[in-house]
Amino acid sequence: MLGFEDSYEVCNCKNVSIEQIILALKDKEEPTLRDIQDMTTAGTECRHCIFQECDNGKLKKKVYCKDILNEIKRKRT
């Protein structure tokens, strides 16, 4: 997805991969960032991985939970 392997780790604090997010949201009709946090724990520690504006880490993320969420929604339409 988005040029990354499904095993790519989006959230390094909680070791959550793209695949885990996809699986967690598969039965959600209108998935949200909160669903990703609640169901996978991604984005619940340093929070840098949620979306770009939250990323004040020294090393910027290559992809964010919000990017994955948007791509999941886009593929469904």
Size of the site for ligand FES (CB under 6 A): 12
How many residues can be counted in the chain?
77
The least CB distance from residue 76 to ligand FES, in Å, is: 24
**With respect to ligand FES, which residue has the nearer C-beta, 50 or 72?**
50
Q: Which of 67, 60, 53 is nearest to 22 (CA)?
A: 67
CA distance 27 to 22: 10
Site for ligand FES in 9-68 (CB under 6 A): 11-14, 42-49
Is the CB of residue 18 less than 8 Å from the CB of residue 1?
yes
Residues at the interface with ligand FES (CB under 6 A): 11-14, 42-49
